[in-house]
Structures are given as structure tokens and as C-alpha cells.
């Protein structure tokens, strides 16, 4: 059982799916993973111990504090993947 998770991963996945229509890049599963991975490298990880039920409220908190930075990272990552798509 996983005892810890990087909340940034969950947050970035949510943000991507949320902004999918506005992202000026292919959003197939491969490009999605590439964009999210690139964006995650730009941001400090936020590991938390996971206990049932707590995780989502922590992600929400993180989202409030880091939305602007995360969006910038996501947009830059999409631009890079668009230039060199791997699919
Ligand atoms: Zn693609």
C-alpha cells in the first residue's frame, strides 16, 4: 500500500484535464503524460502521507496556493511537447 504520494502529481493531472481545451497542444495520452511530467519537473514536489479522505482536501489547499505557478509550468511544458511531440 502506498504510504505517501506527491500531491503535485494529482494536482497537475487535475489541472491538465481541467484546461485540456485551452492547451494549444496535442492532448493524446502520450502527450498528456509528457506534458505533465515536464511540468512536474519545474515545481517542487509536495509529498504527504496518505490517509483515507485527507488527500483531496490537501490537494485543494495546494491548488489554491500554487495554481499560478502550476499553470505557467503546464503552459511551458505544452509548448515544448508541441515542438517535439513523441507520438
Ligand atoms: Zn499526442
Q: How far is the CA of 44 from the centre of ligand 1 (A)?
A: 26
Band (1; pLDDT cuts 50, 70, 90) = low
Q: How far is the CA of 30 from the centre of ligand 1 (A)?
A: 6
Q: How far is the CA of 41 from the centre of ligand 1 (A)?
A: 20
Determine the distance from the C-alpha atom of residue 28 to the mean position of all C-alpha atoms in its chain, rounded to a whole number: 15
Domain assignment of residue 25, given as a range: 4-83
- The C-alpha cell 500531491 sits at 7
Q: How far is the CA of 31 from the centre of ligand 1 (A)?
A: 4
CB atoms within 10 A of CB 40: 20
pLDDT in tens, 27-39: 999 999 999 999 9
Q: Report the number of distinct structural domains present in the chain.
A: 1
Torsion of CA 47, 76, 66, 44, to 10 degrees: 30
pLDDT in tens, 11-28: 999 999 999 999 989 999
pTM to 2 decimals? Answer: 0.88
Q: How far is the CA of 50 from the centre of ligand 1 (A)?
A: 32
How far apart are alpha carbons 15 and 26 in whole angstroms? 16
Rg of the chain in Å (alpha carbons): 13
Q: How far is the CA of 32 from the centre of ligand 1 (A)?
A: 7
How far apart are alpha carbons 74 and 68 in whole angstroms? 10
Amino acid at each position: 500500500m502506498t504510504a505517501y504520494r506527491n500531491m503535485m502529481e494529482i494536482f497537475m493531472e487535475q489541472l491538465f484535464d481541467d484546461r485540456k481545451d485551452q492547451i494549444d497542444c496535442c492532448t493524446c495520452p502520450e502527450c498528456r503524460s509528457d506534458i505533465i511530467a515536464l511540468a512536474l519537473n519545474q515545481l517542487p514536489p509536495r509529498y504527504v502521507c496518505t490517509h483515507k479522505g485527507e488527500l483531496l482536501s490537501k490537494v485543494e489547499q495546494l491548488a489554491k496556493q500554487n495554481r499560478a505557478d502550476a499553470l505557467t509550468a503546464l503552459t511551458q511544458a505544452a509548448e515544448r511537447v508541441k515542438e517535439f511531440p513523441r507520438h
